[in-house]
Amino acid sequence: MTTKFTPEEVRKIARLSSLDLTEKETEVFAEQFSTILEYFELLKEVEISDVNCDADENHLSNGREDKVVKSPVSPEQFSPYLEKGFFKVPKVIDPDH
């Protein structure tokens, strides 16, 4: 099964993301999105029945210990668009569509 992204779908995604794309960019993204979906289709065909699901997971806990530390950077240093400690962003979804 081949899944193909159309330029119309890319334009809709761009509009919802508040992105202005040229016609060439729209075509390129449609092709790239389609290629990515083709890889996902290939993954559906991979046989993994011989993979040992009961593999030893002890190696997963050998990493560093998680510690909570206070950040030296404050939200105010990132953006002037703060409201009550939260970032205020413009609405990106048009309720009419």
Whether this prediction's pTM lies above 0.75 is answered by no
**Domain boundaries defined on the chain:** 1-47
Q: Is the pLDDT of residue 31 over 80?
A: yes
Q: Is the pLDDT of residue 58 over 80?
A: no
The mean of the pLDDT values for the chain is 83
Q: Distances in Å between the alpha carbon of 94 and those of 38, 62, 91?
A: 30, 47, 8
Superfamily for domain range 1-47: Glu-tRNAGln amidotransferase C subunit, N-terminal domain (1.10.20.60)
Q: Is the pLDDT of residue 48 over 60?
A: yes
Across residues 35-57, what is the average pLDDT?
Answer: 78
What pLDDT sits at residue 56? Answer: 64
